[in-house]
Structure 1
Amino acid sequence: MLEQYKTIMEGGTGEITEKKSRFIATVRPVSTEEEALAFLEEMKKKYWDARHNCYAYSIGLNREFTRCSDDGEPSGTAGRPMLDVLLGEEIYNVAVVVTRYFGGVLLGTGGLVRAYSKAVQEGLAGSRVIEKKRGITLKVTTDYTGIGKIQYIAGERNVPVVDSEYTDKVILKLLVESGAAEELQKAITEGTNGRAAIEKESELYFAVLEGKVYTFEN
């Protein structure tokens, strides 16, 4: 299991023009090969009048499903360069289709490789790329005298407080990176002189985007 990895939060598009040929890249987050193939069919229908709809995708944290296609372009000039961009950026669970409208001027092998690669880069630039980190939710129960110290410790380490409950006691749910969980628990125990009860609740992936915390099963 990866401790952290990049993926697509929200797909986007990008477009370039090379010698009158239009290259339109559409990026989509996918979690299964079926989703990737359905996305490809969707793009083929949308751009039914285009000369080529080349694609690349990589699915699974071990890249179990990684495929690409030149869709009629000279072998190795489209699909593989597109896939190389995804792999080079270390992005997982992503599919991209680059649609080409031929402009009447041949680009040559090198020109095609550069154009398809650049189109994918533009598509990624138009998408929301996030970094998911493996984390643990900790349920921390304390009395009111300990809450200030716990909030200080969490804030000092940029650990999000994802939920809180105030009754006769205080329950805080903290979301911490897996590798930092043990040190955080030790700091809270020492900071509250052992008055805080700490319970591990669940393991999950999370990402922080524009100050907001998102959680994921994988």
Structure 2
Amino acid sequence: MLFDDTYQTIASPAEGIFKDKGSKFLAYAFPVENDSQARSHLADLYELHPKAVHHCYAYRLGADRMSYRMSDDGEPSGTAGRPILNTLYSRNVTNVLVAVVRYFGGTLLGVPGLINAYKTATEAALDSAEIVTRHYMNLYRLTFQYVLMNDVMRIVKEMEMPVREQSFEMECEMVVEVRTTLVERFVARVGKVDGLEAKLLG
């Protein structure tokens, strides 16, 4: 099978809510590209809900099923983070953080009740999210003399590569996104232009 460079994620933040026996479970879904973005969203939620008893979450990154983090934040082990993560797997979305903030209603829900609550709240947030297909990208910095501009722009246009940043002095620089499956073709084309250099970033 050829490596597939597409994945599904959510277009923008979304919310869902689930209530059971007085407890409220507020689910927040965010698109994230790395750990620091996820941590930043979690910090915002702690500020937004300082009185909540639990801030449980899970997120996964990339196509690898091993790239994830989760937290039960004081709930019995396996009753919060794991159901949130499993829902991300079953919905086949990645680069997504779902955090579920719980306000306790006074009645214990028990392990099955908790698993159901965190799973259902997560589903509610994902149901209200717009699911989009994205591509895995590698970032390359192109450096070249201004006279090569036409050659470079032809490659960028024909390979439909998004340009992240650019500066055109005598020495020009451009950062482009290259789909993972097109990297070999891209490198080959760059190699045919004398004086054009491409450096992989990150």
Structure ID, larger Rg: 1
Specify the alignment match of 1:95 in structure 2. Answer: 97
Specify the alignment match of 1:17 in structure 2. Answer: 19
State the number of aligned residues: 144
Higher strand share: 1
| Equivalent residues of 2:5, 2:179 under 8 A apart | no
Deviates more, 1:107-116 or 1:52-61: 52-61
**RMSD, aligned α-carbons:** 2.4
| Equivalent residues of 2:26, 2:101 under 8 A apart | yes
Specify the alignment match of 1:185 in structure 2. Answer: none
Q: Distance in 1 between matches of 2:116 and 2:179?
A: 38
Q: In structure 2, do the counterparts of structure 1 residues 28 and 58 end up closer, same or farther at CA, with 3 Å as the change threshold? A: same
Q: In structure 2, do the counterparts of structure 1 residues 72 and 121 end up closer, same or farther at CA, with 3 Å as the change threshold? A: same
Specify the alignment match of 1:215 in structure 2. Answer: none
Give how far 1:174 is off: 9.0
Structure 2 gaps of 5+ residues are 138-156, 161-176, 181-202
Specify the alignment match of 2:133 in structure 1. Answer: 131
**Identity value in percent:** 38
Structure 1 gaps of 5+ residues are 136-171, 176-201, 206-218
Q: TM-score, normalised by structure 2?
A: 0.65
| Equivalent residues of 2:136, 2:179 under 8 A apart | yes
Instruction: Give the alignment partner of residue 74 of structure 1, picking from 60, 73, 76.
Output: 76
* Structure 2 letter corresponding to 1:66: Y
Q: Distance in 1 between matches of 2:111 and 2:19?
A: 16
1:110 and 2:112 aligned: yes
Specify the alignment match of 1:30 in structure 2. Answer: 32
Q: In structure 2, do the counterparts of structure 1 residues 97 and 108 end up closer, same or farther at CA, with 3 Å as the change threshold? A: same
* Structure 2 SS opposite 1:10: coil
TM-superposition CA deviations, 1:104-127 (whole Å, max 9, x none): 011000000000000000011121
* Structure 1 SS opposite 2:120: helix
